[in-house]
Every structure is written in C-alpha cells, then in structure tokens.
Amino acid sequence: MTTRGRFITLEGGEGAGKSTQARYIRDWLEARGRQVLLTREPGGSPLAEAIRHLVLGDWAEGIAPSTETLLMFAARAAHWNTTIKPALAAGRDVVSDRFVDSSYAYQGGRKGITERRLRMLERMVLGKRKPDVTLLFDIDPELGLRRTQERGDDNNRFEQEALDFQRRVREIFLARAQAEPERFVVIDASREPEAVSAAVAEALAARLGFVGPPSA
Ligand code: TYD
C-alpha cells in the first residue's frame, strides 16, 4: 500500500521570496528520495489556471470582493480535486505556492468577507483536510513591496495594493499561525535567500521527521 504524500503550503505577502523557496523545497525533498509535485494558487490545473487568468485580470468593471472570493475557491476546488488529492493519494508530496490561508489573508482583508464565510467555503471545497505543514514567509510589507518593485512585477493589480492592505494581510497570516502552531512555521523572510533556505530545511526536517543527510 502506498502511504499518502505530505502536503506542504507556502504563504506570505508580496516579495517574500516564496517561489524561490518552493523550488528549493522540491529539490530538498527529491534529494531525500521523495516524488514531488510543485504547484501554485490560484492555478495548478488547466481549469484553475483559466480561472487565475480571470481573477488576476484587469477588468474595466472592476471585481467585487465576493466575485474574487468565489473565483479563488472555484480555482481551489479544481486544483484540489484534479491535481493535489490524486498526487497525495499516489504517495507524492505536494508543495503549493499559496493555498487556502491566502484567501483568509487577502479576501478576508477586504470589506464584507467575514471569516465565517471563508470557513464555509473552505469546508465546502476541502472538507476537514488541511496542509500537513504551512510555511509562512513573513516580511515587513514595506521591504516586500520594494522587492517586487525592483523585480518589475507590476503586471497584476494585486501588486499595486496599498501598503496598508499588505499590513492587514500580514496580521491575518500571523494570527492564523499563532492559532495553529502545530501546522505553521513562521520563517523570517527578510534575510538573504540562502539563510531563508537554511531555516526552511530545518523546519521541514523537524516537522516531517527527516533525519540525517540526503540519500545519494
Ligand atoms: P502571484 O503573481 O502568483 O503572486 P505571488 O508571487 O505573490 O504569489 O499572484 C497571486 C496573487 O493572488 C497574490 O497577490 C495573492 C492573490 N491571492 C488571493 O488574493 N487569494 C488567494 O486565495 C490566493 C491563492 C492568491
């Protein structure tokens, strides 16, 4: 019988360097003999990628917080059912660059989207399933936004969100981490990428029970 793979999610505000660390984690797990699926949200399946295009698009009519929320969860439902769940069942580890905590932080940070409603949607899409480990890449929003500007990432409207909004996002992420310490590891993402990777490796070894050096 195959044992189920481990589900690792990466969360954080803009400019926290999640995507670089996601690739590092894939390589780290593969070096330990694991089969790994690296994916992201919104997106991660053909239908979910199509919804990503819709939800991150710049529409003349704007996008209401409720529309945005429902599209995020619609994408997640497709991603979960057709990509993540089958991979975990087949014994692969899944590393997702963002997942449901991003909806609590970003959509929950907007007016009118209560935590209760987000919990209802989470329950509808995921049941009681949660990631095994969630790494929260925590960074001062001012530094994070400066980094994204240096990268020239101004092609989607999320990157243009005000600093105040990013502060709110950070607060929600940190509050969630505090409420679920058995799932979250908070990583200081203000450091150099190598130092962040070292903290990631330490967290994964501790949380996933890896001992010793990687297998050859
Ligand atoms: P992306 O370009 O992938 O940015 P990042 O490198 O920051 O992950 O854009 C994803 C954007 O979507 C990001 O600004 C956060 C937002 N988002 C939500 O608002 N809600 C969600 O549930 C998810 C998964 C992402």
State the pTM of this model.
0.93
Which structure tokens are listed for 153? 């990432």
Closest of 182, 190, 214, 216 to residue 201, by C-alpha: 214
Closest residue by Cα to atom 17, ligand 1, is: 102
- Bridge partners, 136 (sequence order): 11, 186
Report whether residue 103 contacts ligand 1, using a CB cutoff of 6 Å.
yes
Q: Helix or strand or coil: residue 12? A: strand
Nearest atom in ligand 1 to the alpha carbon of residue 159 is: 14
Residue 166: predicted pLDDT: 92
For ligand 1, the distance from its centroid to the CA atom of residue 42, given in whole angstroms, is 6
Distance between CA atoms of 99 and 202, rounded to whole angstroms? 22
Q: Is the dihedral of CA 147, 152, 17, 141 positive or negative?
A: positive
Residue 112: predicted pLDDT: 83
Per-residue pLDDT tens over the stretch 153-203: 654 445 555 788 999 999 999 999 999 999 999 999 999 999 999 999 999
Per-residue pLDDT tens over the stretch 45-99: 999 999 999 999 999 999 999 999 999 999 999 999 999 999 999 999 999 999 9
Domains recognised in the chain with CATH numbers: 7-208 (3.40.50.300)
Report whether residue 161 contacts ligand 1, using a CB cutoff of 6 Å.
no
Half-sphere exposure of 207 (CA within 13 A, CB side): 22
Closest residue by Cα to atom 2, ligand 1, is: 156
For ligand 1, the distance from its centroid to the CA atom of residue 9, given in whole angstroms, is 13
